[in-house]
Structure 1
Amino acid sequence: MPLPPADLVHHLADAIVGTRYAQLPADAVEAAKKSILDTLGVILAAGGTEPAVQGVVDLVRESGGRPEASVLAFGGKAPAIMAAFANGAMAHCLDYDDQTPWGQHASSSVIPAAFAVAERKGGVSGREMIVAVAAGQDIFARLRCNVGWRKDWNLSSVMGVFAATAAAGRVLGLTREQMTNAFGIASMQSCGVMEMVCGTGSDLRGMYAGFSAKGAVTAALLAEKGTTGVESLFEGEYGFFATYFGGRYDRDRILEDLGVDYQGGGTLYKLWPSVGTAHSHIHATVELITRHDLSVDDIDEIRVYVGDYHDLMCRPLEVRRAPTTLVDARFSLPFLVAVAAVRRGMGVSDFTAQALKDPRVLAAARKVVPVQDQALDWKLELPPGRVEIIMRDGRRFDRVGTNVPGSSETPMTWDDIARKFGDCASAATMPPSLDQVRRVQQMTRDLESLNDATELLRVLA
């Protein structure tokens, strides 16, 4: 009787350990570098603008321990596990971090984990960092696209801990056996229900990447020390796929071109600091307002056509129209559309305690009315939202939010991401100088030439 095929955990571990810089496609290399610059910038901005992260940073400082890795934005060092926790929390809390073409976020878990381990280890080259990030992004995309998701789990943290473990383990130079063990250990931190994302009044939606980054570093370090995992992690009778997705997954697609096609090459970067699933509505609103030079005061109603996931950003409607926290504001479709209409754009400065009380934005938000449209329900790719503006004089303007800035159709360039990094850095608690900003921008673009990737963090210190 033939032996059953090896569990996917072994195939994934093989691919990660076997990855070499020379075999990476050019788009995967570029995506890894762009994601590093983008994520570092978002962390800096978060430290200066999002009060929800202060508790995490305070806890990290109170915990003490060996000064192994940098706590970005606030300065100082902490044990690698705790630095990953703080930096991961900041990496996602503005909802400004990168995403896959199908939604969800890998880099806000992957990059804080990889850099924390790299600082602890020392001497990790730019090429090795690129390999680690590309491997993590690839693992995330393969898992994200090939499971029977019912929108019940927060895939960014459920999958993100494995992606971050892949990156951290690759930085450490784990063996195939150790990497397999690390995935098993990481499963102890694979968690997060969608109520945490969709519910109102909580800080958790903003900081969840901190938990997956922390869990990943913990897993990789324990595996390095000999802690064992489980041989049938993903496909066992009570394994990951059975427990989280009722056994619905596509094994062949997960394995297709593994080690050849690195799917992080399709990573997308955000122009606006808000949940990506609202960007098509934001874009449609900005286009209508600017193209027709509409005055918000003359608008009677802004209809936003929504599918099942868009609708989560609209309920309860009155709460979404007037969010009381910055975390909720970035996930509130009526508020985001109102900001887009009033500001004709969106930036980090539109999400402050004072901005939440802007009377013009709040008045515009009361004009936003969600309209159900099942054709916009989220399957694999989320269909673009549609906006209809009805003026008091009876005129109507309608647009579907296609070609969104930062989308696959209109991707952000290196120059775009460099500008975003500069804007984010200027919002930091202690903004780096223009020279520091320029050095980090160029060093990241040329990351493969650095002997030590963590030089980026020393420049920002």
Structure 2
Amino acid sequence: MTEVQQLAAFAEAADESWLSDEAREQLLVRVLDTIGVAIGAIDAAPVRAIRELTAELGGSPAATLIGGGRTSPERAAFYNGALSRYLDYMDSYLAPGETNHPSDNLGAVLAATEYAGGTGRDFLSALAVAYQIHTRLSDVAPVRAKGFDHTTQGAYAAAAACAKALGLDAGRIANAVAIAGTANNALRVTRTGNLSHWKGLAYPNTAKEGMFAALLASKGITGPEAVFEGNKGFKETIAGDFTIDWSAEDLEQVRRTIVKKHNAEIHSQSALDAALDIRAQDGFTPRAIAAVRLKTFDVAFSIIGGGEEGDKRIVRTKEEADHSLPYMLAAALLDGQVGVEQYAPERIVADDVQDLLKKVEITPDATFSARFPEQMPADLEVELADGTVFRSSQNSYEGFHDDPLSWDRAREKFDRLAAPFTSDDLRDEIAGQIRQLGDGPITGLTHALARVSTERG
């Protein structure tokens, strides 16, 4: 068996029953969290543009769009994936050399399950496969340092999960994975320099292509069987050598993923907790800040702190703001939160936050870096104009894998994000459908999601 055939055999055999009680609970928390984040983005300008284009293009009405309407499954995968990704408020996985967002696969898996007439159990089984493949490839085959985006590993995960949700056998799953993995090796420029809308749309595109690869495979289209180990394959060309024994894999990796507490890039979460801790200390006055000094781990510095991926003090758009640690720290210190409101265009360009972000100094610390990804160390000092210094140190946050988010806390976040577009009864129905995912048809959930409003109530 080639390596992609071994992966496919794992994907075909994997079942929701493999999940431990804790893993299943955390997977349900991820579904609730991801759908809440998706609903919260439904009136964003780029999402509206995608919805308009989807309506213009039409497509076989085989899969449901959140907010109503139906289209072909790959277009539903793109639109619903764009919703869950746009706010940058979804879950994450931290590997030593890579970070990804496994919940990016949910929109595609949901579309595939609905298209196939599947159940909640089918959906959870396929989604757990996506989490396992996505995270394990990131563990052993990071690509960021080589100039490729983290969506690269996701192509294998999305295709395998969609193919499983479609009910394909191992041979056709292998072809789907081979097609998607060969064709979708994205550049890291997606997240460097001045950021564009594509930062939030790169993975929805990957998931769409994984869905389409699975549909092609379902009709007998084949892909390169040595996509991993072959001549000019993934290992030789991009990743380097690595080994995964897919026959020994389980479905527990979801427990190693983390959920965002703040609406901010994942590596900022503990630093933002530190900022809010300082803001709550006696005598602290945000308007009197003279300097902000943060020590953090090298990955946070490199990606959002002004390191290898560009200056983070030039902030004009939402895409730049939610990947700028100086901006997010300034917003937290001034506003006492980093939520959806902090990315309103008028908030981003306001003089107070623009002035303060220029006072933020961020440095990587080697001892902190050695503790990542098991911890997310952050040591923050804020000095006022009179010389008073406030300090806070944090190593994790609520939602990190050492303090996993509970269903009740996830429900609070879901309600907060979804409330402008749903009634109390509809939120109860959606959450209830997720909580009870099992042998019933997945259309119980998709029909509820179709009734979400696309306009704020």
Question: 1:12 and 1:277, CA in 2 relative to 1: closer, same or farther beyond 3 A?
Answer: same
Answer yes or no: is the 8 Å Cα contact 2:287–2:334 preserved in 1.
no
Question: Over residues 157-200 of structure 1, what are the superposed CA-to-partner deviations in whole Å (9 max), with x where a residue is unaligned?
Answer: 11112111121111111101001111111124432222211221
Please name the residue that 2:343 is paired with.
Answer: 351
Between stretches 232-241 and 104-113, larger displacement belongs to 104-113
Please name the residue that 2:287 is paired with.
Answer: 297
Distance 1:150 1:331 in 2: 16
Distance 2:414 2:147 in 1: 31
Count of aligned pairs: 445
Distance 1:407 1:257 in 2: 28
Distance 2:254 2:110 in 1: 18
Question: Over residues 139-172 of structure 1, what are the superposed CA-to-partner deviations in whole Å (9 max), with x where a residue is unaligned?
Answer: 1111111125453345531111211112111111
Distance 1:261 1:87 in 2: 24
Aligned counterpart in structure 1 of residue 53 of structure 2, from 55, 59, 67: 59
Q: Under a length normalisation based on structure 1, what TM-score does the superposition of the two structures give?
A: 0.90
Question: 1:434 and 1:298, CA in 2 relative to 1: closer, same or farther beyond 3 A?
Answer: same
Distance 1:369 1:379 in 2: 21
Q: CA RMSD in A?
A: 2.3
- Is 1:315 the counterpart of 2:306 in the alignment? yes
Please name the residue that 2:454 is paired with.
Answer: none
- Is 1:255 the counterpart of 2:248 in the alignment? no
Question: 1:409 and 1:291, CA in 2 relative to 1: closer, same or farther beyond 3 A?
Answer: farther
Distance 2:416 2:355 in 1: 28
Q: How does 1:48-127 map to 2 (within 5 A)?
A: 48=43, 50-73=44-67, 75-102=68-95, 104-122=99-117, 124-127=118-121
Name stretches of at least 5 consecutive residues in structure 1 with no aligned partner: 1-5
Query: Aligned letter for 1:274?
Result: A
Distance 2:153 2:371 in 1: 18
Query: Aligned letter for 1:297?
Result: R
Question: 1:190 and 1:359, CA in 2 relative to 1: closer, same or farther beyond 3 A?
Answer: same
Between stretches 301-310 and 330-339, larger displacement belongs to 301-310
Question: 1:67 and 1:360, CA in 2 relative to 1: closer, same or farther beyond 3 A?
Answer: same
- Is 1:390 the counterpart of 2:383 in the alignment? yes
Between stretches 337-346 and 387-396, larger displacement belongs to 387-396
Please name the residue that 2:221 is paired with.
Answer: 227
Does the residue aligned with 2:338 lie in a helix, a strand or coil? coil
Aligned counterpart in structure 1 of residue 258 of structure 2, from 231, 253, 268: 268
Answer yes or no: is the 8 Å Cα contact 2:318–2:348 preserved in 1.
yes
Q: How does 1:33-52 map to 2 (within 5 A)?
A: 33-48=28-43, 50-52=44-46
Does the residue aligned with 1:320 lie in a helix, a strand or coil? coil
- Is 1:423 the counterpart of 2:416 in the alignment? yes
Answer yes or no: is the 8 Å Cα contact 1:154–1:193 preserved in 2.
yes
Distance 2:256 2:170 in 1: 27
Does the residue aligned with 1:291 lie in a helix, a strand or coil? coil
Residue 324 of structure 1 deviates from its aligned partner by: 1.2
Distance 1:56 1:45 in 2: 16
Q: Under a length normalisation based on structure 2, what TM-score does the superposition of the two structures give?
A: 0.91
Q: How does 1:187-202 map to 2 (within 5 A)?
A: 187-202=181-196
Q: Percent identity of the aligned residues?
A: 27
Question: 1:228 and 1:326, CA in 2 relative to 1: closer, same or farther beyond 3 A?
Answer: same
Distance 2:72 2:424 in 1: 30
Distance 2:311 2:372 in 1: 29
Name stretches of at least 5 consecutive residues in structure 2 with no aligned partner: 452-457
Aligned counterpart in structure 2 of residue 180 of structure 1, from 149, 174, 180: 174
Between stretches 232-241 and 169-178, larger displacement belongs to 232-241
Distance 2:310 2:213 in 1: 42
